[in-house]
Amino acid sequence: MIESISNLWSIPLLVIIPMLTAIIVNFLYDKAIKPIAISSAIIILIISIISPYGYHWFCGHPALNPETLTFTFNPNIFGYKLSLEFIFGPLQHIMIFISSLILLFCVILSTIGLTKHQGPYIALLFLLFMSSAIVIMVNDLYHLWIAVEIGSLIVVGIAAASGTSISHKAALKYGLFSAISGAGLAVSLALVLGLTGFSNISDAIMYLKQFGIGEMSTVLYIAFGFFVLSWMYAGGLAPIHPLKSEVYGASYPHGTALLQAQSKLMLVAIGIIMLRLFGMLPFVKEVMIFLSVITMMIGVIMALIQIDFRWIIAYLIISHSGFVTLGIGLGTQEGLIGGIFQAVNDIIYMTILLLCCEALFYFGGKTSTKEAYDIAKKSPFIATATILGAIAASGIPPFNGFQSEIILIQACLKEGLPEIAVLILMVSVTTFIALLRGIYRIFLKPPELQDQDNSNVDLPKVLIIGIIIFIILSIIIGIYPDIVLRFIIPVVKEVLSI
């Protein structure tokens, strides 16, 4: 349960520290960037671990109790919030912790691997974390819209930072079309604000429950439609998947690790808000399930036909986003638990695969499956880690992917959707096939040309440490899922009670 702490000290720090760091590193020389950036990332990680649960009301305005017409700062006493509200609870705790851990390794790898424009690139990483943290903590539509807009712009910058023509095209296309996402969310905000008079999500829900939907259903459906549009763009769901997959495939692999974490957080946060605001409308859940199923199928099919290991992972990220949204779309306790749990697990095992893909840059940056490179001889550790990441992504025990997928399958069966449960199994099997094909060509098959360089490559120690940490996390969660579920279950019960 959330403690009765208002104006919590840690919530502003999770927003302000990344913002200040992003500003500072732009004005520093290369040697000064590394200690400042790494120190800030460590501080953010520590805050995400030790922070208590509670609220923060920006602008300092108290809540108004409509019955007594008195003001209160006690979050346990109902009142209409006259300020912009942020919440740090169990769900925010686990997700921001995972994101801040990825941020730390991304920052360190950036200071090692990039020789030019370190400051601007690291600033983008911090701002990306900031936008995703705001989305997962916010409880008002105004701040949600701002965070989504900021996040879209930062995604463009990170994609373009790799400096290739493909990345520039991907960034340009995503930048042009993602404007639709922000505009759609702004329209939805305006409609909900016009109907209820509140931008605070909890207050708007309370208003709808108190006065009923009635003739407002048509306007709410329009607001839901624009919300879905923003949801698709933010998370890369079908039919927007080509834009997001290009961004994933064109960015640096460590940057993609943070990008996919941001997408999963947005899918969870916006999906839960959609259930809370529009769940009482007919066909809302059906629309969310339909988009999820299409995304799962298209993503894994596209992964099968790719000839580059980075793009295989990019499309699998899209496909597994459908797992997350499927659980949320079911709207049941098992479904929500499975969807949120899948988001956490997906972030972890995709990070393993992306860090292994980052290691390929130290072997010449060759990730095409057209040629065989026999990387396993040069680095048995990376080959083994990639195989373990593929096993986790395919939902094979004892790794974490199995635990969330089995919950989703059980949720579908309880809702009388055995065909979707079978589809989950098929996507898991196809995921393994797609990854194994790339792993065999890059890591295991002997090179056809005998003059290829077989010398060993010294990988950065932090890259090896990062891979080991996320593999250990994957195994621990796979064996003891309650480590994560104890953060998720209370939040799901609270959402369903609302």
Report residue 333 as tokens. 């306790």
Say whether pLDDT at 227 is over 70: yes
Return the biggest CA–CA distance within the chain: 83
Is the pLDDT at 447 greater than 80? The verdict is: no
- Distance in angstroms (rounded) separating the CA atoms of residues 389 and 382: 10
Q: For helices 333-360 and 400-414, give the axis angle rounded to 10 degrees.
A: 150
More confident position, 242 or 349: 349
In the 3-class helix/strand/coil scheme, how is 438-465 assigned residue by residue? HHHHHHHCCCCCCCCCCCCCCCCHHHHH
- Count CB neighbours of 454 within 10 A: 10
Whether 198 and 207 have beta carbons less than 8 Å apart is answered as yes
Distance CA 50, CA 467 (A): 24
pLDDT grade for 497, boundaries at 50, 70 and 90: confident
The pLDDT confidence band at residue 457, using thresholds 50, 70 and 90, is: confident
What's the average model confidence in pLDDT over 250-279? 93
Contacts of 122 (CB under 8 A, 6+ apart): 22, 25, 33, 37, 107, 110, 111
In eight-state DSSP terms, residue 72 is E
pLDDT at 3: 47
Q: Which of 136-145, 444-453, 468-477 has the lowest mean pLDDT?
A: 444-453
Mean pLDDT, residues 452-456: 58
pLDDT value of position 273: 93
Q: State the pTM of this model.
A: 0.93
Q: What are phi and psi of 87, to 5 degrees?
A: -130, 135
Please state, in angstroms and rounded to a whole number, the distance separating the CA atoms of residues 88 and 91: 8
What is the pLDDT at residue 234? 83
More confident residue, 482 or 79: 482
pLDDT tens profile 95-151: 999 999 999 999 999 998 777 778 899 999 999 999 999 999 998 888 899 999 999
3-state secondary structure of 56: strand
Q: What DSSP assignment string belongs to 239-275?
A: TSHHHHHHHHHHS-HHHHHHHHHHHHHHHHHHHHHHH
Could you tell me the two tokens for 212? Answer: 């009923």
pLDDT band, very low/low/confident/very high, at 452 (cuts 50, 70, 90): low
> Cβ of 202: how many Cβ atoms within 10 Å?
18
- pLDDT (0 to 100) of residue 378: 86
Q: Are 274 and 289 in contact (CB under 8 A)?
A: no
pLDDT at 349: 97
Instruction: Measure the CA–CA gap between 180 and 288, rounded to whole angstroms.
Output: 19
| Cβ–Cβ < 8 Å for 300, 238 | no
Check residue 77 and give its pLDDT: 67
Q: 498 to each of 326, 448, 491, how far by Cα in Å?
A: 20, 61, 11
Q: Which residues contact 413 (CB under 8 A, 6 or more apart)?
A: 421
Q: Which amino acid, one-letter code, is at 361?
A: F
In angstroms, rounded to a whole number, what is the distance separating the alpha carbons of residues 57 and 53? 14
Among 23-27, 195-199, 446-450, 473-477, top mean pLDDT goes to 473-477
pLDDT at 377: 87
Contact 110, 253 (CB under 8 A): no
pLDDT of amino acid 1: 40
**Between 344 and 81, the higher pLDDT residue:** 344
pLDDT of 206 = 82
Q: For the residues 404-426, what does the mean pLDDT come to?
A: 96
Q: How confident is the model at residue 76 (pLDDT cuts 50, 70, 90)?
A: low
Taking only the tens place, the pLDDT of each residue in 432-443 is 999 999 999 888
Average pLDDT score over residue span 487-495: 92
Nearest CA-CA partner of 91 in 497, 496, 495: 495
417 or 4, higher pLDDT: 417
pLDDT of residue 154: 94
DSSP code, position 33:
H
- The predicted structure's pLDDT at residue 454: 54
CA 27 to chain centre: 29
Contact 5, 54 (CB under 8 A): yes
Say which residue, 28 or 23, is predicted with more confidence: 23
pLDDT band at 83 (very low <50, low <70, confident <90, very high): low
Spell out the residues 6+ positions from residue 22 whose beta carbon is closer than 8 angstroms to its own: 122, 123, 124, 126, 127, 130
Please tell me the predicted confidence (pLDDT) of residue 2: 45
- Of the CA atoms within 13 Å of residue 139, those in its CB half-sphere come to 24
Output DSSP code: residue 196: H
Using pLDDT thresholds of 50, 70 and 90, give the confidence band for residue 164. Answer: confident
The owner of tokens 């995304």 is 295
Tokens 């925010």: give the residue. 92
Average pLDDT taken over every residue of the chain: 89
pLDDT value of position 73: 64
